[in-house]
Amino acid sequence: MLLLAVLCFGCGQTEKKAPTQKAPKPVHARNNAPLFQYGNPVLLQFDRYMAGLDTQSAEACHLAIDTFKLLFKKQPAAACDTAFYIYNQFHSLICAYLNEHMAEDSIKYEEFLWGDENGKMKPLSKRQKAVKNRLDRNGFELGSEEGEVFIEQSQHFLAEQFTAYVSAPMKQYLIQEAIEQKEGFQEDAGLTIKPTVFADRTVWWENFIKANPNSFIYSQKATSNYNAYLYWLMIGMDNTSVRSWGKENLAEDSLSEYFREAYSYLQEKHPQTNTNTIVAPYFNAWQKMDTTEITRVLNKFKEEHKSPWGE
């Protein structure tokens, strides 16, 4: 997931930190006219059903899936996409509620993820097992950032439950989200995926956007994903910097091995992509150690591309 990264500008720029955002509260899709362009009464029926569910009950999630499968078994894929959107908004609301009330549970959630000082996992109590089963059954899992545990939507669960019903683009989208959640991306402002995976992932979203224009329900989210990956590919992070640190000034430094591998792979495997068109001048400037050009290209990029948190 992309929402928890703590980023910095490369090449000795001033550090910027993204605001922490866990499980944002979405607006429910109910009565949003553009979503019901298909004129499908089953969508309205499902939307009314979802609007009546308790947004403070995790158990409502698997009940809603049962209803989805009953109503949309033989419906057009486009209608199923919209129905999934409605469900996902509801699921996000439940996730936000669960996060806000974790402290009230008096559950040591950290014991779900981490062992003792020797790495040995402590057996879960009966109550902890019940909580874990409830999360698993309703499509949630635990994540962590800088030692803080939180509840997040399980993208694998969503893909597993809905890909048999939705359109081909939505299926691709859900599977990719599940893959990225499983692989991870960063931890404590340091990249945790291989440089080649980073490059491939960025290009995947570029190609997905090209193949699925604005008519796709999650086109804005897909564009946001691509822009975020592209930004980090150019800027780097606090603990995975574009610049190879340890010298006193830029003229004495070099491109870090991580980004050298990412940029080289991008040029070799994806030369015709927009991503490579943007990255190539930066990579070339680093290879020549042209500090003036490095700064110019980076500044131009930052003028044309907002950071993932909108600056």
Q: What is the pLDDT of residue 2?
A: 60
CA angle (85, 90, 179) in 5-degree steps? 60
Give the residue from 130, 59, 64, 140 showing the smallest Cα distance to 96: 140
CB atoms within 10 A of CB 11: 18
Residue 162 phi/psi, 5° resolution? -115, -15
The tokens describing 184, both together, are 């991870």
Q: Give how far Cα 137 sits from Cα of 118, 165, 239, Å.
A: 31, 20, 36
Q: What is the pLDDT of residue 250?
A: 56
Q: What is the pLDDT of residue 109?
A: 81
Please give the model's pTM, rounded to 2 decimal places.
Answer: 0.85
Q: Block means of pLDDT (10 residues each) for the chain, length 311 residues? A: 43 37 41 54 93 95 97 94 96 96 84 76 87 94 86 97 97 98 93 98 98 90 96 96 72 85 98 98 96 96 87 65
Query: CA-CA distance, 1 to 155, in Å (whole number)?
Result: 10
Residues 254-297: tens digit of each pLDDT: 899 999 999 999 999 999 999 999 999 999 999 999 999 999 99
| Cβ contacts of 268 within 8 Å, gap of 6 or more | none
Q: Give how far Cα 271 sits from Cα of 13, 242, 266, 267, 282, Å.
A: 28, 20, 7, 5, 14
Tokens 């994540």 correspond to: 143
Q: What is the pLDDT of residue 19?
A: 39
Q: What is the pLDDT of residue 247?
A: 55
User: In this structure, are strands 236-237 and 240-241 parallel, antiparallel, or unpaired?
Assistant: antiparallel
What is the DSSP track for 161-184?
Answer: HHTTTS-HHHHHHHHHHHHHHHH-
